[in-house]
Amino acid sequence: MIGMRYLQTVLLLCFGLTALNAQNLDSLRWKNRVLLVFSPDSSSKSYREQLEIVRLHHAAFAERDLVCVRANSENMRKKYAVSPKDFAAVLIGKDGGEKFRSPVPVSAAQLFSIIAAMPIRRIEMRGARQ
């Protein structure tokens, strides 16, 4: 069962209610995978579509320690080389490294497939079976 606190955190991060900068992102290292969502504004079609994907699959996101963050600060855009007028979805692994980038919304299936191939996820899955 997903903890209410975790679900609240996911919803807060996804809907951009929590400011994110490089230091906040570093605090998630080794705890969470992060889907950074950059968009020109919160009404963009791509942004709304990505959030709907997250909303529909929030339990599976939680199972994979995956949180979604709207990252539109100038520092984050500079760090990840995303123009203020562009949409981008950037998957960050638990080690803090960029694992995947897309200029269009990413399906849950594609995200989960990428995560399943990650060495840390494989270790997590082996541990869950034991």
Enter the pTM of the model. 0.81
Indicate the DSSP class of residue 21.
Answer: -
Average pLDDT on 108-122 reads: 91
Of the candidates 38, 20, 40, the residue with the CA atom closest to the CA atom of residue 106: 38
66-95 pLDDT per residue, tens: 999 998 889 999 999 999 999 999 999 999
Number of Cβ within a 10 Å radius of residue 59: 10
Pick the CATH number of 4-129 from 3.40.30.10, 3.30.70.100, 3.30.930.10, 1.10.3720.10: 3.40.30.10
Q: What are phi and psi of 34, to 5 degrees?
A: -130, 130
Q: What is the overall mean pLDDT for the chain?
A: 85
Contacts of 123 (CB under 8 A, 6+ apart): none
Collapse the DSSP code of 29 into the 3-class scheme (helix H, G, I; strand E, B; otherwise coil) and give the result: coil
- How is the chain split into domains, by residue range? 4-129
Q: CA-CA distances (angstroms) from residue 48 to 5, 42, 106?
A: 23, 7, 12
Whether the per-residue pLDDT at 28 is higher than 80: the answer is yes
> Which residue bears the tokens 């949180």?
67
Number of Cβ within a 10 Å radius of residue 48: 13
